[in-house]
Amino acid sequence: MLALFAAEPPKIDSGGTAWMLMSSALVLVMVPGLALFYAGMVRRKNVLTTMMQSFVAMAVIGVQWVTVGYMLAFGQTAGGIVGWEPRLLGLWGVDWHAMYGDKGIPELAFVMFQGKFAIITPALIAGAVAERMKFSTYIVFILVWTTFVYCPLAHWVWSPDGWLFKMGVLDFAGGTVVHISAGFSALVLALMIGKRRDYLPGLATEGFVILPHNLTMTLLGAGLLWFGWFGFNAGSAVAVEFPVSGFSAALAFTTTQTCAAAAGFTWLMIEWVHNGKPTSLGLASGIVAGLVAVTPAAGHIQPWSAAILGVLASVVCFLAVRAKNRFGYDDTLDAFGVHGIGGLLGALATGIFCIYNIAGEANQGLVFGQTTQIGLQALGAATGIGMAVFGTLLIGGLLNVTMGLRCSPEEERDGQDLSVHGERGYHQDIGS
């Protein structure tokens, strides 16, 4: 049957293509990973709705991406603002023999890889509003948000025509596009939607508390996230190198591993010194904080920088999470404290440690005495924050007055699993 394809000389790099497909699969498995990570921390009555907030993103954004999302983010630019290339609608005009740029991989492989990023980003936001956001509104929110906030931002930063890309802002695997945008949107949404009815941080030592119902789920989730993150970060070498599975990928893999390890260890130690109790959730939170922080920097920094970044990530995110308790807003699962702040740290750290800039010039980080890149990074981060905050205010505000952001008080009290989805996560089967 080979004859079928012989007409077209094989320009494919089979190794790079294998790595792209595998990386896409790895990013997909982060979604159940995230579902477990989040769901373990909520109460039994909300475990399914919390998992669904991740899973439904696979369904909804999975369709959105091949319909319009890919075009908006990676189509030919309309004035540097957004992609606009009608032949990409529904991937209608994408020949399945089309190659992606000069990277030796099919365009469809690139479409899929990027699609997974679009799926997981809005799902991160769910962590901030878990246990109270209305499910129907959530679906509409992630659809609109991905279309009007994520896709343009991805276009600005990652498309060769994007204005931030052209200025030289670095974002290897999505510190700004993914984590800053999700984290700051999470904060805004959490503030708009208000606290859970029984969230009383001031009384936390006096008895009114909400406890994670199953931390083994959260730990397994963290493990799957770490696993999948190698695809997320090392797969992002697709943007910078041929072959895709080459030096950049290996570097990104190494910094990812190192930063996560250092951050996990640091968070554990902070807790040990601070409370005398090194918690498993602390270890998992540190791992995730490290993974977030290294994301924008992964292919641009050296392993030892990644170790330092890991330490910083846990210190900064630990403080950010504590700040929540001081300010009293209810970011249920710390989507802002970990993704927003961790992503911001990573974006700036890329400017501090980077060993080459977008033009390929070496040693551009602050540690090498250069200040241009960190300025650019700050600009990129600020843009991401602005886009996230205003976009979410607008979309959230509109949805608030139309559909309502919040489930009913009874649904919140009884748990959305039963009241909204007609299911319970667990049944004891007494006598059956």
Partner 1 sequence: MKLIIAIIRPERLEAVQTELRKVLDENDNYRLTVQAVEGHGAQQGEVQYFRGQAIRPRLIPKLQITLGLNDDYVTRAVDAICAGARSGSVGDGKIFVMPLEDCIRIRTGERGGKAI
Which CB sits closer to partner 1, 42 or 352?
42
The residue within the footprint of its own copies, chosen from 106, 296, 340, 384 (CB under 8 A), is: 106
Give 406 or 424: the residue with its C-beta nearer to partner 1: 424
Angle 47-64/107-125 helices, nearest 10 degrees? 150
Query: What is the token pair recorded at 424?
Result: 């319970």
Minimum Å gap between C-beta 263 and partner 1 is 15
Q: What amino acid occupies position 83? A: G
Name, in order, each residue with C-beta under 8 angstroms of 136's C-beta and a sequence gap of 6 or more.
403
249 in helix, strand or coil? Answer: helix
Looking at residues 349 to 408 of the shown chain, list those that interact with its own copies (rule: CB under 8 A).
356, 358, 360
* Of residues 3 and 430, the one with the C-beta less far from partner 1: 430
Least Å from the CB of residue 58 to partner 1: 20
- Residue 432 binds its own copies (CB under 8 A): yes
* Distance between CA atoms of residues 107 and 156, nearest Å: 20
* Position 322 contacts its own copies (CB under 8 A): no
The one among 148, 161, 194, 279 contacting its own copies by CB under 8 A: 279
Binding site for partner 1 (CB under 8 A): 198, 201, 204-209, 211-212, 271, 274-275, 277, 279, 281-282, 285, 318, 321-322, 325, 334, 413-414, 418, 421-424, 427-428, 430-432
CB-wise, 20 or 48, nearer to partner 1?
A: 48
Output 3 or 401, the one with its CB closest to its own copies: 3
Closest CA to 417 of 38, 49, 40, 37: 49
Is position 273 an interface residue for its own copies (rule: CB under 8 A)? no
- In Å, how far are 116, 197, 258, 338 from 419, measured between CA atoms? 30, 16, 44, 30
Which member of 60, 149, 193, 407 binds its own copies (CB under 8 A)?
60
* CA-atom Rg of the chain in angstroms: 21
Least Å from the CB of residue 296 to partner 1: 24
Count Cα atoms within 13 angstroms, Cβ side, for 364. 22
Q: Can you read off the two tokens belonging to residue 412?
A: 């919140």
